[in-house]
Structures are given as structure tokens and as C-alpha cells.
Amino acid sequence: MNLTQRQQSHLFFTWSAQDRAKTLEITDASRARFEVAGKGWVWDLESQVYNVNVGHKHPHVQARMIEQIGALPAAAPNAVLEIRATLGDLLAEHTQMAKAFLTTGGSEAVENAIKIARLATGRSKIIARKNSYHGATLAVLEIAGDPRKQPFVANMRAPLHIEDPHPARAPTAARASDWLESLHELVAREGAQTIAAILLEGFTGTNGMQHPPADFWPGVRALCDAHGILLIDDEIFSGFGRTGRWFARDRWGVKVDMMTIGKGLTSGYAPLAGVMVSAALAERFDQEVLWCGLTHYAHPVSCAAAVGSLEVLASEQLPENAERVGQVFERRFATMIERHACVTGQRGFGLMRALELDRGADEIVAQAWELGVFLPARGPMIWVCPPLCLREDEAETIADLLEAAIVAAA
């Protein structure tokens, strides 16, 4: 029995029929690559689960975690620890928000944001975009638009979705964009007084990377202000430098009431996510009970991983690097669109990018693998989301390999 068979005997693989699960025996990793048994080193264009933002095996993050394991590896949620206080300081500094409620994963973060919104407003309804993903729990699948909800949809309430076609119809002086127009119609139909929050990804991930129209984020903020609706920004995928900014919402210049964070928060080195809230929301729970909690709240080793990751993101200026390296891919992708009929477009910011194809991506993915590139894809789109430590010359190398894969698959 080989290692894959041994693991499969007693552990499930995610999102898979177990006999058809796509697995990798990873034996080592460094910066923007990982090593696979029987294959060798490959470029990691998925950052594992779009979360290894600082790169694989960064010594500073590892050292922070090892130090905390030696000092105190476990503590109850209400314990006061230096590492927790340090993380709180760093989160407030980088998010410009007041306080965090920490969770073990992104789905929990979104669920707790919804709980806080309902506690704070006394309302129940949550609006999201049609092409959205906010997590895998039943409550969050119900609200979002991800197709992986389909096995459970018969037992779910109908979601409240903003229609968000791509490309969006641009706003004019006389008419809002189709995204914003859809939102206004939805709020009018449901009644603004019943809506607790509008939940939006800072920038959508593998459900399409649709660029929002120019009036959308400012228009959502204005609508929320007018009706006492809370605006929740889901930065779990797009946060911590992925789009070339600390958070994707920085591109829209809009303040939010809550922000969910995860993935790049620890760069995948330990499970941790959370909800950042505004000062007004934080003060509300000084006297009111915050009905949220979990066993592994602010786990010390996860907090250490987050502190280490945030320190590396800042000291190595990785959001800025993602912007520069992303421009290399943008330029090279534009050339591929001109040269190859099967490549029809590109989307994204920083190192959160996609190439659009006129066909399914399977053959290109297979050819890229042969050339040493691990390339995530869904349908007619391939995703290019490497760790943010990638250098410009490495981006050129990867682009050469991607183009070779496209030619080989033609």
C-alpha cells in the first residue's frame, strides 16, 4: 500500500468522489514551488489553496510558530496572551478597523459576521452576489451563489442575489450599472428595513474574477448608509496583498462595517480566520453579549503564524511586489491573446489573475503539468495565483511555460 492509498483508507479528500480524487504527494516546498514525489519541483500557481501568500517555508513565520509552541502551545479563549495582543495590534494597523473576532476558517468567519449583523440590526436578510463564494457550511452556501450548493439546495431558502453579469454594463449619467440597478431593485422588493447586511467579496476568486462596474462599491455604500444596512467585505481570498493592495477594497476606496479575513492571514501555515468590525460595532458589544464563540478561538500557534505572516508581508513589501509581478503577467497574457485564438481574455489584479479560453482548460492544464507548472482551472478559465514572493524573472519563466502549454494543447 503506497502513501496515497494509506491516507485514503482513513481520511476523506475534499470536494471529491473518493475513488476519483486528484491527489499530490508533496515532499517539500520553497517560496513559490513545491516538490511532488516522482515528479520533482513544480511552480505553485494555486498557492496551495490560494493562501500561501508569503511563500512556502518562510523562516520567519516558522520561527514565530516554533517560539510560541515552546512558550505556550494551547490556551483557553479568554486567556490573555502577548501573541494575541500583538496580533490584535497588527490587524488594527493594517485593516484600519477596530476589533477582530477570530475563527479557525473562512466559513466560520462569514457565519460569525452574519451573526453580528443580525445581532446589531435586529434584521435577518443577507444579500450577496449571484456569482459568489463565501464558504462551505450550509448556512453560508445557502446565502452565496456557488454551484457546490446544489446537492443541498432543496432544503435551503431561496437566496437574495444581485445579478452580476460579466462584463458588466457600465454606468451612465442617466442610468446605474446593471449590478447596482439589480441591487436597488432587490432592496426595494424585499424592503430595506428587513435587510441586515450586504455581503460582497472584495474581489471574487474562482467563481469568475468579475471586475465590478465603477459605480458598484460606492453605490452599495450609499445604499447601506441610507437604510441602516451593514456592508460586509469578504477578503478571505483577495486580502493580504493578493490583488496588489493589502485588501481588494482599497481599490474601490470604500469603508465597510465588517471585513472577513483568512487564507493569507497566516499564509496557510496554521488555521485562522476572523471578522474585523468597525469601532461603532465594537462598542455595541461592550455591554451587550456577543453570542459568538468556539473552542480554538485565537489559538496561540495560529496567532503566531498570523503575526509572522503579517510581519513578512510588510517588511518584504509583498503587496507592492504582487502589483509589479502581476503587471508582468498582464503584459504577457495580452500577447497570448493576440497570438493564440483559444485565449480570449484576461481578468484580475496583482497576483489574482485568470486567463479566459474558448474551450475547457483540461488539456492546457495537463500540458502545463508536464512542463512543471501546477495550474488550477475551472471550465474555460485558468487561474494564476502564485505566492506573492514570486519575482518578475520567475513570472517571465512561468509565462513562457504557460504559452508552451497552450501551443502544445492546440
Long-range contacts of 41-45 (CB under 8 A, 24+ apart): 41/372, 42/369, 42/372, 42/373, 42/374, 43/372, 43/373, 43/374, 43/386, 43/394, 43/398, 43/401, 44/374, 44/386, 44/387, 45/373, 45/374, 45/375, 45/376, 45/383, 45/384, 45/385, 45/386, 45/398
Give the pLDDT of residue 328. Answer: 98
- The CATH number of residue 117's host domain is 3.40.640.10
CA distance 401 to 410: 14
86 and 17 co-located in one domain = no
> Whose grid coordinates read 463564494?
133
Same domain, 204 and 297: yes
Among 336, 403, 402, smallest CA distance to 43 is for 402
Q: Calculate the alpha carbon distances from 142 to 14, 103, 133, 271 in Å.
A: 19, 20, 10, 24
pLDDT in tens, the chain (410 residues): 999 999 999 999 999 999 999 999 999 999 999 999 999 999 999 999 999 999 999 999 999 999 999 999 999 999 999 999 999 999 999 999 999 999 999 999 999 999 999 999 999 999 999 999 999 999 999 999 999 999 999 999 999 999 999 999 999 999 999 999 999 999 999 999 999 999 999 999 999 999 999 999 999 999 999 999 999 999 999 999 999 999 999 999 999 999 999 999 999 999 999 999 999 999 999 999 999 999 999 999 999 999 999 999 999 999 999 999 999 999 999 999 999 999 999 999 999 999 999 999 999 999 999 999 999 999 999 999 999 999 999 999 999 999 999 999 98
Which residues contact residue 370 at a Cβ distance below 8 angstroms, ignoring those fewer than 6 apart?
405, 408
Q: Is there a contact between 129 and 216 (Cβ–Cβ < 8 Å)?
A: no
Per-residue confidence (pLDDT) for residue 136, from 0 to 100: 95
Q: 75 and 35 in one domain?
A: no
pLDDT at 27: 98
Output the pLDDT for position 410: 86
Stated as kind and residue range, the H or E segment containing 66 is: helix 59-71
Tell whether 234 and 301 lie within a shared domain. yes
- 65 and 172 housed in the same domain: yes
Determine the Cα–Cα distance for residues 14 and 108; give it in Å rounded to an integer: 17
Is residue 137 within 8 A of residue 107, CB to CB? The reply is: yes
- Looking at the fold, whether 8 and 135 belong to one and the same domain comes out as no
Quick one: 330 and 298 in the same domain?
Answer: no
What's the whole-model pTM score?
Answer: 0.97
pLDDT of residue 40: 98
Same domain, 307 and 323: no
Q: Residue 397 belongs to a domain with what CATH number?
A: 3.90.1150.10
Question: Which of 285, 315, 345 is the last residue before a domain boundary?
Answer: 315
Instruction: Give CA–CA dist 262/102, Å, rounded.
Output: 9
Cα separation, 43 vs 384, in Å, equals 10
Tell me: do 258 and 185 sit in the same domain: yes
Give me the sign of the Cα torsion angle 198, 383, 37, 305: negative
Secondary structure (3-state) at 386: coil
In this structure, the answer to whether residues 218 and 84 fall within a common structural domain is yes
Pick the last residue of a domain from 315, 346, 380: 315
89 to each of 82, 128, 302, 405, how far by Cα in Å? 11, 30, 15, 45
Burial of 217 (0-12, 13-18, 19+ CB in 10 A): buried
Give the single-character DSSP code of 326: H
Q: What is the pLDDT of residue 205?
A: 95
Containing structural domain, residue 384: 3-54+317-409
Based on the fold, state whether residues 309 and 262 are members of the same structural domain: yes
Beta-strand (E) ranges in 45-173? Answer: 99-103, 125-129, 160-162
Q: What total of structural domains would you count in the chain?
A: 2
- 143 and 167 assigned to the same domain: yes
Among 297, 315, 333, give the residue marking a domain's end. Answer: 315
